[in-house]
Structure 1
Amino acid sequence: MSFGMMNFSAMQAQLLLWQQMTRLTWESQMVIALRTAGMIGLLRQDAAEPQRMVIEKADAASEALHAALRAAGRGERADRVMAAALRPYRKRTRANVRRLSGKG
């Protein structure tokens, strides 16, 4: 089997993107669980949490779009454009897990 045709850096970039998406998925599920527990009274939660939840989604979507457009405008590869678009979401989910779980 010849490895001359394989681009290992491209494979690594794809794996890193997959890893970012996996972390985002796990953190998102944790945030959903913590917020649900707060809404039904199992955890203490700020009264403004539902409003914060809606506002941050719009902000993250806007930031993700701008980040993706900037990366694409620089001529970045598709995996880097995707990674740039994921960063605002990861930033928020990571912060939300810390804040809602009391670890931040």
Structure 2
Amino acid sequence: MTRRTSNAFNPFDSFYLGLDMWRIGVESQAVIAMRTLGMIGLWSIRPQEMTRMVSEKPEAAFAAWQAASLAMMRGAGLEAVTRAALRPVGRRTGSNMRRLARMGPGICG
């Protein structure tokens, strides 16, 4: 959400980290809802969506682990490591939500 360039203490770091986690949670639930509606034919989704929802999990987990590991090796603090791990996950949830929302509701046949 915000980018810091210094290592100075910021009392709002935890607040912004919480907002990022909340945003990822809301986006995840929206993606789950749209995919579920797509499975029952009430949301227009591509046939590849079911494969995509399974294959993206390990990729996102690896990207999060890699980002957190790099942040730890650089000596970052706990909040910076957590933020680094959340960044790739947040990019995926955001892009999935926007992509599925563009497809829109519709009866699939």
Same fold (TM over 0.5): yes
Runs of 4 or more above 4 Å deviation = none
Structure 1: runs of 5+ lacking an equivalent: 1-6
Q: Which residue of 2 aligns with 1:4?
A: none
Percent identity of paired positions between Structure 1 and Structure 2: 45
Higher normalized contact order (CA 8 Å, seq sep 6+, divided by chain length): 2
Q: Which residue of 1 aligns with 2:107?
A: none
Give the paired residue count: 96
Letter in 2 for 1:87: R
Give distance in 1, aligned partners of 2:92 and 2:98: 10
Give distance in 1, aligned partners of 2:44 and 2:22: 28
Give how far 1:102 is off: 0.3
Letter in 2 for 1:35: R
Q: Which residue of 2 aligns with 1:57?
A: 57
Q: Which residue of 1 aligns with 2:39?
A: 39
Give how far 1:43 is off: 1.0
Q: Summarize the alignment of residues 9-88 of structure 1 with structure 2, pairs less than 5 Å apart.
A: 9=10, 11-88=11-88
Give distance in 2, aligned partners of 1:47 and 1:58: 20
Give how far 1:37 is off: 0.4
Query: Hey, which of these two has a bigger chunk of helix by percent?
Result: 1
Q: Which residue of 2 aligns with 1:3?
A: none
RMSD: 1.4
Give how far 1:8 is off: 6.3
Give the TM-score, by structure 1 length: 0.88
Give the TM-score, by structure 2 length: 0.84
Structure 2: runs of 5+ lacking an equivalent: 1-7, 104-109
Q: Which residue of 2 aligns with 1:99?
A: 99
Give distance in 1, aligned partners of 2:41 and 2:85: 34
Give distance in 2, aligned partners of 1:16 and 1:75: 20
Q: Which residue of 1 aligns with 2:3?
A: none
